[in-house]
Amino acid sequence: MYQVMLFLHIIGALALGFYLFLPLVLGKVDKLSLAGREGTISAVNSLNKYAQIGLIIQLLTGGYLIGQGDYSVPWMIVITLLYLAIGAFSGIMGKPLRLALEGIRQNKATTAEVGKLRTLSALLSVTVLLISFFMVFSTII
Per DSSP, which regions of the chain are E strands?
none
What pLDDT is attached to residue 124?
96
Check: CB of residue 22 under 8 Å from CB of residue 128.
no
CA–CA distance, 81 with 112 (Å, rounded to integer) = 28
Angle at 106 between CA 22 and CA 31, to 5 degrees: 40
Look up residue 132 and give its DSSP letter. Answer: H
pLDDT band, very low/low/confident/very high, at 93 (cuts 50, 70, 90): very high
pLDDT in tens, 107-141: 998 889 999 999 999 999 999 999 999 999 988 88
| pLDDT score recorded for residue 69 | 85
For 1-40, write each residue's pLDDT tens digit: 999 999 999 998 998 999 999 999 999 898 899 999 999 9
Q: For the segment 42-81, what is each residue's pLDDT rounded down to a tens digit?
A: 999 999 999 999 999 999 999 999 999 889 999 999 999 9
CA distances 120 to 2, 38, 40, 113, 130, Å, are 34, 19, 16, 10, 15
